[in-house]
Structure 1
């Protein structure tokens, strides 16, 4: 367990992507089977330990520590696993000769995972309690993160797959296509990566095909975009997904290869085809107009991150796929074909599908680059966030190659808002107030009132985070657990310049608006709070 605990500690404290990759590669090289496979499963969210839940851990802690004292500690630390790991008091047992406590052998990662995979909910907490007594604080933290599934170590499933590719000197696309047919502890995968066995045969029907991504279009590349070479499409503000059906098995994948089929059964049910479509998941709004009327990203959020979806929600927010590309047509792999040919095949492919669930992303005609600049600045629909530019002769290549595809997003909106609330972060940010709720002014000039319009937790440097944390502590007026209310008045407050991609109406927020991808753009220490923007400014953007 110590090796896995050390890995987690170092991953949390290593900010660079390459540093995290090196740590994982070293772990895969040093840890034996099946330990490294279980560690990989924990990092990628592939472990399911139903016998232990956070509420059980709180109840377990109550048998060892005063609940009020634990509550204060949890409030300060901000993370359940970290609090228990630090505060766990060892049980006083029988002392050995000389008065010292007998040392118990530390459990291994393999022992923990294989034991918890079959224990009952009644037995699970007892096993965890015994292990907590045998581990140091670092091991306890790793154990608790393992059983709750909330690692928060800054490692995505995609990054872990890249580490596997680096470890075995393989193409990450090969690993992604195999992934959904593999199970922990991945012994056949590691045998192939170490060149001691043949490549595993994918056991999964409807496998994930690694997606092709685009590069941001920048000024030096403007001259390359000519109509003879590039097609233009609208960049829709939904989520990029892949819909694939193979041998009667239907799956929807996110762009990172996560299976999200369970959240969208209405779309899965309509997948009456054999092949793989690449496109944008969007919500359709009821309308008497012909064709599909696209809902906002706020509408789509009602469907995201749900394990189960009610019939009422599916009826109110029906989803559909706006298709960009055709990767597989029956048994035929089309990815090596040029985009122009794949596009023609896609048009024919969609003719046979339900038009309420699958439609075609239109080509945006242009003759000169200046026309595209005008279209980008004035798109015909509020759910468009820019343009996609694709070479007509480009193959569908996994990853982000330079040149074949560009994205040209609209410039972000900017608004000056006032900091209202701050909340403790998680992981390495657990000792800082790093999540910020901000608002804009409303009401008459002699009775101004702030209404919250968004929340952001990135966009600032580490040094700015320290400055913000100090400001929050020095200007706190109320405390609500891990949240602090900050002094925010017309003559006293911190103005944040906030960038965001879009705005939608919202009945859930007092302001009536919800921001898309807000982030802190600048700290306006120079600007008095009363000069921040008013709600009417945002309402005008809606209009």
Structure 2
């Protein structure tokens, strides 16, 4: 457990991507099985404990520490695991002779009954030093927050074999074993969904002790190909528009729908299976293969075509393990398909985009129901014409921009530079006034970094319209934090109310991707992806936007050139 705790601590304090890769690579090389496998599972989000809850941790610490003192400490630190790790008094009578290993902790939690978990956690907290306690609680609650994505963790895993011999992964290195050689992260992603923690097969392959695990299972996930943001000032001058096909970047969520040998599954772009939330969609798919596309709510229209509903409608279906018939009828899910990765047992990813597109068009044309549609190609002669379409798309708010794909590009997992670009529409902006602030987590736990902002009503009062916690620099964060501390007028637990009047207040320029109606919010609207794009030190609070202007923007999005509900022919 000590090595795992040291790894998490150093990862949390390291901002460099390459440094994080080296830290995890070295840990995976040195740590024994199964500890390193459980660590990898935790870092990739593949490890969770249903019987362990944060409430148990609070109950345990409040039994040993004055609850008021703990509450004050938690308010100041802003992170449950860090607070408990520092304040835990320990019990000399229960101190163990040695610290538990990571594998022991995982095995015990996986086999424990709900009533036994709190006692286990208390015993481990007694046995561990503060850093180990912090790592234990992060592991138990699943909130590692060390700035390491699942793909970056897999990239580090691909580096664990020494790059000192020739050959290719899987080639014979003598005695039937593969020769050691560098492994690309896409190869790990190919077999990832056929593996189970603690990944003994994976490490055996990477270290040359066994052959490559098989990933050829029906219904498996294929690593997705990602795009890079286009640099308008640089890329358009060197790219030929004839080399690229353009498609709309739909405002839904990217999915991979797979139907193979009787196995039907729906995956998110990160490989999480979400089939259970969309049984109506899965029942309506009849192709044989793997399709890459956009999940959205589709409302069919008489005579063909249909309406792509606002993203807010799709949110009614997301993050659910199950869904009832009423919800399915009110929010019918469908896929706008834009790529075909496999068909009837044949892997198509080595084909060019144009070749895959032709196969996809045939599959969708023969499908014959409202659950699968073809994402149309956007015709354009030059970049200037495409730019005008991007600014005022005929599909309105259903698209958040454009995708550009090289016609000769093969389908490669990851984010290769050059084959695919995304060209998003410029974000909407409003000027709002800071109303409330709350401390952040992790490295920001000492700063007020989560800000609720509002706009003026007709009565001259502020009403909240959103919350943002990024978009500013570290230097700007210090200034924002100082403003909050200097102008606090009230406290509500960990939240501070900030002075906000027509003649005094902090004005923030808020950028966001869209608006939707929301009866859950006092203002009646909710923002999509809000972030602070600029601090308006120069602007008086009275000149911030009004709720009336925000509602007017929402109405323009719902109708006319910026409409959200759009007919697709």
- TM category (shorter chain) comes to over 0.9
For 2:86 and 2:325, locate their aligned partners in 1 and report how far apart those are by CA, in whole Å.
Answer: 45
Match of 2:460 in 1: 448
For 2:322 and 2:42, locate their aligned partners in 1 and report how far apart those are by CA, in whole Å.
Answer: 23
SS in 1 for 2:115: coil
The alpha carbon displacement at 1:69 in A equals: 2.4
Match of 2:482 among 448, 466, 470: 470
For 1:256 and 1:429, locate their aligned partners in 2 and report how far apart those are by CA, in whole Å.
Answer: 27
Question: Judging changes above 3 Å, is the alpha-carbon distance between structure 1 residues 145 and 172 closer, same or farther for their aligned structure 2 residues?
Answer: same
Partners of 1:497 and 1:522 within 8 A in 2:
yes
The answer to whether structure 1 residue 531 and structure 2 residue 531 are counterparts is no
SS in 2 for 1:538: helix
For 2:298 and 2:492, locate their aligned partners in 1 and report how far apart those are by CA, in whole Å.
Answer: 39
SS in 2 for 1:243: strand
Match of 1:176 in 2: 189
Match of 2:258 in 1: 244
Question: Judging changes above 3 Å, is the alpha-carbon distance between structure 1 residues 290 and 514 closer, same or farther for their aligned structure 2 residues?
Answer: farther
The alpha carbon displacement at 1:322 in A equals: 0.6
Match of 1:231 among 240, 245, 251: 245
The alpha carbon displacement at 1:204 in A equals: 4.1
For 1:283 and 1:59, locate their aligned partners in 2 and report how far apart those are by CA, in whole Å.
Answer: 43
Bigger shift: residues 244-253 or 182-191: 244-253
The within-5 A match list for 1:48-67 is 48-67=48-67
Match of 1:148 in 2: 141
For 2:333 and 2:496, locate their aligned partners in 1 and report how far apart those are by CA, in whole Å.
Answer: 38
Partners of 2:256 and 2:269 within 8 A in 1:
yes
Match of 1:134 among 119, 122, 127: 127
For 2:17 and 2:221, locate their aligned partners in 1 and report how far apart those are by CA, in whole Å.
Answer: 24
The alpha carbon displacement at 1:225 in A equals: 5.3
The alpha carbon displacement at 1:104 in A equals: 2.4
The within-5 A match list for 1:246-395 is 246-285=260-299, 290-380=304-394, 381-395=396-410
Match of 1:484 in 2: 496
Partners of 1:4 and 1:142 within 8 A in 2:
yes
Match of 2:429 in 1: 414
For 1:376 and 1:339, locate their aligned partners in 2 and report how far apart those are by CA, in whole Å.
Answer: 22
Match of 1:14 in 2: 14
C-alpha deviations, 1:217-252, integer Å up to 9, x for none? 223322455553221111111111111122222222
Partners of 1:56 and 1:125 within 8 A in 2:
yes
The answer to whether structure 1 residue 115 and structure 2 residue 108 are counterparts is yes
For 1:140 and 1:269, locate their aligned partners in 2 and report how far apart those are by CA, in whole Å.
Answer: 47
Question: Judging changes above 3 Å, is the alpha-carbon distance between structure 1 residues 361 and 68 closer, same or farther for their aligned structure 2 residues?
Answer: same
Aligned residues: 533
Partners of 1:227 and 1:368 within 8 A in 2:
yes
Partners of 1:323 and 1:358 within 8 A in 2:
yes
The within-5 A match list for 1:199-218 is 199-202=212-215, 204-217=217-230, 218=232
Match of 1:72 in 2: 72
Question: Judging changes above 3 Å, is the alpha-carbon distance between structure 1 residues 103 and 129 closer, same or farther for their aligned structure 2 residues?
Answer: closer
Q: Which consecutive unaligned segments of at least 5 residues does structure 1 have?
A: 95-101
Partners of 2:284 and 2:369 within 8 A in 1:
no
For 2:189 and 2:481, locate their aligned partners in 1 and report how far apart those are by CA, in whole Å.
Answer: 40
Partners of 2:300 and 2:370 within 8 A in 1:
no
Partners of 1:216 and 1:406 within 8 A in 2:
yes
The answer to whether structure 1 residue 198 and structure 2 residue 191 are counterparts is no
Question: Judging changes above 3 Å, is the alpha-carbon distance between structure 1 residues 428 and 308 closer, same or farther for their aligned structure 2 residues?
Answer: farther
For 2:234 and 2:90, locate their aligned partners in 1 and report how far apart those are by CA, in whole Å.
Answer: 63
Partners of 2:248 and 2:376 within 8 A in 1:
yes
SS in 1 for 2:535: strand
Match of 1:98 in 2: none
Partners of 2:202 and 2:213 within 8 A in 1:
yes
For 1:342 and 1:115, locate their aligned partners in 2 and report how far apart those are by CA, in whole Å.
Answer: 48
SS in 1 for 2:455: strand
Question: Judging changes above 3 Å, is the alpha-carbon distance between structure 1 residues 470 and 361 closer, same or farther for their aligned structure 2 residues?
Answer: same
For 1:92 and 1:221, locate their aligned partners in 2 and report how far apart those are by CA, in whole Å.
Answer: 65
Partners of 1:48 and 1:117 within 8 A in 2:
no
For 2:485 and 2:90, locate their aligned partners in 1 and report how far apart those are by CA, in whole Å.
Answer: 34
For 2:114 and 2:14, locate their aligned partners in 1 and report how far apart those are by CA, in whole Å.
Answer: 35
Question: Judging changes above 3 Å, is the alpha-carbon distance between structure 1 residues 457 and 288 closer, same or farther for their aligned structure 2 residues?
Answer: farther
Partners of 1:225 and 1:369 within 8 A in 2:
no
For 1:355 and 1:73, locate their aligned partners in 2 and report how far apart those are by CA, in whole Å.
Answer: 58
For 2:512 and 2:457, locate their aligned partners in 1 and report how far apart those are by CA, in whole Å.
Answer: 20
Question: Judging changes above 3 Å, is the alpha-carbon distance between structure 1 residues 159 and 279 closer, same or farther for their aligned structure 2 residues?
Answer: same
Q: Which consecutive unaligned segments of at least 5 residues does structure 2 have?
A: 162-181, 557-569
The alpha carbon displacement at 1:287 in A equals: 5.5
Match of 1:157 among 128, 142, 150: 150
Partners of 1:176 and 1:257 within 8 A in 2:
no
The alpha carbon displacement at 1:323 in A equals: 0.4
Question: Judging changes above 3 Å, is the alpha-carbon distance between structure 1 residues 485 and 236 closer, same or farther for their aligned structure 2 residues?
Answer: same
Partners of 2:96 and 2:126 within 8 A in 1:
no
For 1:56 and 1:485, locate their aligned partners in 2 and report how far apart those are by CA, in whole Å.
Answer: 30
- The two structures have a TM-score, normalised by structure 2, of 0.90
| CA-atom RMSD in angstroms | 1.9
C-alpha deviations, 1:432-451, integer Å up to 9, x for none? 211111111121xxx41112
Partners of 2:489 and 2:498 within 8 A in 1:
yes
For 1:62 and 1:505, locate their aligned partners in 2 and report how far apart those are by CA, in whole Å.
Answer: 41
C-alpha deviations, 1:242-287, integer Å up to 9, x for none? 1112222222222222222233232222232221101111112475
SS in 1 for 2:483: helix
